[in-house]
A = this chain, B = another copy of it.
Amino acid sequence: MGLNSNRIEHFSDLEAPPPSMQETATPSIQPPPLEVHRVCLPPPRTTAQKLRHRLSDIFFPDDPLHKFKDQSWHRKLVLGLQFLFPIFKWAPNYNLQLLKSDVVSGLTIGSLAIPQGISYAKLANLPPIIGLYSSFVPPLIYSVLGSSRHLAVGPVSIASLVMGTMLSEVVSYTEEPILYLQLAFTATFFAGVFQSSLGFLRLGFIIDFLSKATLVGFMAGAAVIVSLQQLKGMLGIVHFTAKMQMLPVLSSVVHHKNEWSWQTIVMGVAFLVLLLTARQISMRKPKLFWISAAAPLASVILSTILVVCLKSKAPQIKTIGHLPKGVNPLSLNMLFFRGSHLALTFKTGLITGILSLTEGIAVGRTFASLQNYQVDGNQEMVAIGLMNMAGSCTSCYVTTGSFSRSAVNYNAGAQTVVSNVIMAAAVLVTLLLLMPLFQYTPNLILAAIIITAVIGLIDYEAAIRLWKVDKLDFLACLCSFLGVLFISVPAGLAIAVGVSVFKILLHVTRPNTALLGNIPGTQIYQNLSRYREAVRIPCFLILAVEAPIYFANTTYLHERIMRWIREEEELLVSNNKSNVKCVILDMTAVTAIDTSGIDMINELRKMLEIRSLKLVLANPVGSVVEKLHRSNVLTSFEMEGLYLTVGEAVVDISSSWKA
């Protein structure tokens, strides 16, 4: 039996019961297939229907509105409010028990947020106070809009570093501090706009293009750069390069050897060892998380006291200096959208926006999966974006969910975002009352805190795993690492994304093809080079094509298939076996085809016909059959040529030869 006009049919479910609910008993021992099954076209749909389906799949894969289905009007309103403001989801069930946990964890992350805030602001070349401002307003906004329960919001090292790098390459933060501040706030505003519009437009998948492999390399590179930069504070150097590449930083360290101060070095190294030890203890025993959480604040206090005591003996040790008291001043008037720096702030906003989004979403998802609740990526983007837009108007720079603080938050037993509110309260108390105490805090302690924080970003175990599992992933990782170290942060990222995309294209351009054989006693056809028990079927050449057939691979596939046939024929001739009469392409993994691919199949069929070889296709997926049908290639396959499985093709064609 071959393919006749009704071998291909549209599935029409006008009369049949909805197919979705038809069920059968578990198939156990079945009679072997005696009949040949028809290859179906997918149910007919108009272009508009297809477009709608495709768009809903691109933008709404999670079907965010499914909760609203079949609900009363009142319930829909409540659900809508909960959707927009996740606070309504947990607030009604909030109780004293939860509050107790949240206060403990909130105070813990507060004690971490204050020294980190000051340090990260230094990393972004901003006044230290901006770091505290940024730990006050954004957490409050996130607690209303955010859907993660464990995210601890505030400035983070990567975004601070990138902003510092990109802005200070154009504007000097020492010579034009006000302009630099304006640019930072404007970039933060752009980052917020970009983040929230990604969420609103449901384009969240864009951040997926920063693969984990890329990020491992990028973060390690950034950590090395940041640590080297901190040598300024640790060695007490005054005149330091503003550049971020490895070589200028190292040469700057060496060239200003005369500025090194041994007092600073001794104290810095001592505190660094202290902080690293605390970190190590907490990593070994997660129950002792509070040691590493309390260590930064304790070190700040201790070092400040030391500096006050030693002030006369070691005047070389640089301190933070005077910090203004009071809550965040408004900074709406500092945003500016004209002039020559617009492109710079836009670009900085875009890159810090993507990076902070990536960190925030990844952290949120990690802790959500540990506690088995869902975090909606697009909604989180809107929350983080709005938080940054509001932040840019209240003297904050880019903030997001920090990995280190969220981990402390989680380990300290945080239950809801209320822990962020408690942290903000702690920062508020600091801003209002404790600012003068920081005047004698030495810069070296900030450097030590930064080094301790970023050293955790060097995940060499992940890099080793990448090398073991996937060499191309490792290459992407290495590229972003070296790119960040030796060229620049945006270039490193761009190269890494390029390598990742190249990897996808390479897979499509040079797809795998495999020779299949039958596993005796079954209808299973498997790769001959993998399954020793699989055997060839005489007169048949069965090939699996393992990629969509696209313009980028049609030439290759054509050549490769012809080579398989040539090699097979040479092998058969040298063994005096009967020659190939039929080529079966197993199309199961050909998940898509374009017009070039259709032309290739048609061309191949004609070419094989000249050599009196038959070409048949087994198990083409719906969209492929549809396109073959619409391009009239199916009619050129005439009476035969499409089968549901390789097994049926073999049985049917061999029986037609016998007849």
Q: Using a CB–CB distance below 8 Å, which chain A residues touch chain B?
A: 11-13, 16, 19-34, 37, 40-43, 47, 51, 57-58, 61-63, 66, 204-205, 208-209, 211-214, 369, 372, 377, 465-466, 468-473, 500-501, 503-512, 514, 517-524, 526-532, 534-538, 546-548, 550-556, 559-560, 563, 566-567, 571, 575, 577, 588-589, 591-592, 594-596, 598-599, 603, 606-607, 610, 621-623, 627, 630-631, 644-645, 647, 650-651, 654-655
Contacts and interface: CB of A to CB of B under 8 A. Distances in A.
Given A469-B631, A651-B28, A205 B598 contact: no
Given A40-B530, A591-B547, A607 B208 contact: no
17 contacts: A21-B571, A22-B535, A26-B654, A27-B523, A37-B522, A47-B471, A61-B559, A208-B553, A212-B599, A469-B627, A473-B595, A500-B552, A507-B548, A507-B591, A512-B591, A514-B622, A524-B645
Given A61-B556, A591-B589, A650-B27, A534 B19 contact: yes
B30 A522 contact: yes
Given A529-B11, A591-B546, A631 B537 contact: no
A633 to B, nearest CB: 9
Contacts of A521: 30-31, 33
A63 B469 contact: no
Contacts of A575: 21
B24 A535 contact: yes
Contacts of A530: 11, 40-43, 622
Nearest to A552: B208
Contacts of A552: 205, 208-209, 211, 500, 504
A610 B370 CA distance: 11
A22 B469 CA distance: 33
Contacts of A607: 369, 372
A595 to B, nearest CB: 5
The 4 closest A-B pairs by CB, nearest first: A211-B551, A546-B591, A24-B535, A589-B589
B13 A622 contact: no
Given A510-B61, A589-B591, A551 B213 contact: yes
A21 to B, nearest CB: 6
Given A24-B536, A28-B655, 13 more contacts: A22-B535, A27-B523, A27-B651, A33-B522, A41-B530, A61-B556, A61-B560, A213-B595, A369-B607, A469-B631, A504-B504, A504-B550, A546-B621
Nearest to A621: B546
Nearest to A570: B66
A211 B11 contact: no
A208 B600 CA distance: 13
Contact of A538 (B23, B470, B547, B589): B23
A520 B19 CA distance: 13
A566 to B, nearest CB: 8
Contacts of A507: 548, 591-592
A517 to B, nearest CB: 8
Contacts of A506: 58
B40 A208 contact: no
A344 to B, nearest CB: 25
B468 A630 contact: yes
A563 B213 contact: no
A439 to B, nearest CB: 47
Contacts of A647: 27
A556 B553 CA distance: 26
A533 to B, nearest CB: 8
Given A19-B534, A501-B505, A631-B465, A24 B520 contact: yes
A144 to B, nearest CB: 25
Contacts of A472: 594
Given A40-B531, A211-B552, A505-B504, A32 B30 contact: yes
A140 to B, nearest CB: 28
Contacts of A29: 32, 34
B591 A588 contact: no
Contacts of A523: 27, 30, 33, 523
Contacts of A24: 518, 520, 535-537
A204 to B, nearest CB: 8
